[in-house]
Amino acid sequence: MPGGPTILHADLDAFYASVEQLLDPSLRGRPVAVGGSARGGVVLAASYEAKRHGVQGGMPGWRAARLCPDLVFVRGHFGRYQELADRVMSVLGDYTPVVQRISIDEAFLDVSGSTHLFGTPGTIGTRIRQRVRSEIGLPISVGAARTKHLAKIASQVAKPDGLVVVEPEHEREFLDPLPVSLMWGVGPVTEQRLADRGIRTIGDLVGEPGPALERLLGRATGATLHALARNDDPRRVTSSGRARSVGAQSALGRREPTPELVRAVLGHLAERVAGRLRAKGRAGRTVTVRVRFAGMRTVTRSHTLPVPVSATLTLTEVAERLVRQALRDQGEAVEITLLAISVSNLTRQAVVQLELPLEPEDPWRPGSAAGSARWALDRSMDAARARFGRDAVGYLPATVRRGGGVPDEFRELAERDL
């Protein structure tokens, strides 16, 4: 079998909770929940001590407190998370320039060109773990394998605070007994569908005929999972470059998509996305919305504008039109569980160039009188928030902006353009 275990997946363990235990030594060894309280709110992250009692991120605080009476709730030091995660990424970069960061607390590395300097992939993984622990104070798990998919599974098996190296000749021996839930793309719904067919392990999935999986899960999902189960994953590790899109999403539970709800949620998402675009002096031409319906069916709609935009109201209006189109296409009463907005085809927009008056007046053109007024208003609001705080001014009521108790700082860490 060609190639060695030169792809590493490094993943910080219970990152947000581990940071809180690092910053407050009295929390070490104790069950910790970031966010929420015993009276309510949402748990954003949990330490391994809390997870052993069944506490998980996304769980109501009152339920977490019942599962773990000794649970300590902390508000979270959102400003420190990015700083510490960036320091970890700097350590990874000391061993190879080919680092692909895929979230705030995890990344892939290709060390094929580094083994002559630092030793085997297992040796490199060991050094990374030692340095992150000694220099930064955080636990990190590392998986090493021939493919990205297998390296990520290996790092999950290695948790907490471990290292797993899968040599090519032992891939099937390693993969076959593992549960399908460890695979990319297998959430609770897909896991249950597979279990109903008697497929519980990755080995079971390999033994299932590809056409049968495609009928069960859909052509794309079935074919992808069958290939990954065979460890057929040609994706390479690519160094992260300039962000190609900026997005945000909001989970809603099960809600009727009334015009008022859709407008409020899209306005909040547009405010987050457009604010991040303006902060980087950028704008985008292609607006994409994603609507997830009850039953996990997801629909996307996109529209490419003739000029790049970064105005919150413009982005809201474009997204609202796309979501209305997606809802009309359903042709029946529906419930939605998630809305998302992303902007791509990005370009620089440090200033807006005014244009001569053109008929008809189009507020979606940034250079028109209405469009430039929108952009100027947004910039003024950005400045007010920077000086007086995020909630100093906004388009939406605070109850909508809070997004169900999850702080925007936490959402933006997860959505950050890396």
For position 90, which CATH number holds? 3.30.70.270
Residues 313 and 391 in one domain: yes
Residues 10 and 127 in one domain: yes
CB atoms within 10 A of CB 153: 25
- Judged by phi (left if over 0) then psi (alpha if -120 to 50, else beta), residue 98 lies in beta
Domain boundary among 111, 137, 165: 165
Residues 213 and 362 in one domain: no
Give the DSSP H/E element, type plus range, for residue 101: strand 99-103
Residues 290 and 352 in one domain: yes
In a domain, 295, yes or no: yes
110: Cβ contacts below 8 Å, ≥ 6 apart: 6, 7, 8, 96, 98, 236, 237
CA atoms of 80 and 76, how far apart (whole Å): 9
In a domain, 171, yes or no: no
Beta strands 7-12; 72-74: pairing state: unpaired
Report cis status (omega within 30 of 0) of the bond before 160. Answer: yes
Exposed/middle/buried for 187, CB within 10 Å: 0-12, 13-18, 19+? exposed
In a domain, 234, yes or no: no
Instruction: State the CATH number of the domain containing residue 196.
Output: 1.10.150.20
Residues 224 and 249 in one domain: no
Domain boundary among 165, 195, 212: 165
Domain boundary among 165, 197, 215: 165
List the domain range (segments joined by +) for residue 220: 176-229
Report cis status (omega within 30 of 0) of the bond before 259. Answer: no
Count of domains for the chain: 3
pLDDT tens column, 162-204: 999 999 999 999 999 999 999 987 888 889 989 999 999 999 9
Digits of tens for pLDDT over the chain (418 positions)? 457 899 999 999 999 999 999 999 999 999 999 988 888 788 989 999 999 999 998 889 999 999 999 999 998 888 788 889 989 999 999 999 999 988 889 999 999 999 999 999 999 999 999 999 999 999 999 999 999 999 999 999 999 999 999 999 999 999 999 999 999 878 888 899 899 999 999 999 999 998 998 888 888 888 999 999 999 999 999 875 555 778 888 878 788 889 999 999 999 899 889 888 888 888 888 999 999 887 667 888 988 888 888 888 889 999 999 999 888 887 666 888 889 999 988 887 655 554 445 555 566 566 566 666 666 666 676 666 666 565 555 554 433 444 445 566 666 555 555 4
Instruction: Tell me the whole-structure pTM to 2 decimals.
Output: 0.68
Residues 260 and 182 in one domain: no
CB atoms within 10 A of CB 196: 9
> What are the CA-CA distances from residue 143 to residues 97, 116, 167 (Å)?
18, 20, 11
Which are the catalytic amino acids? 106
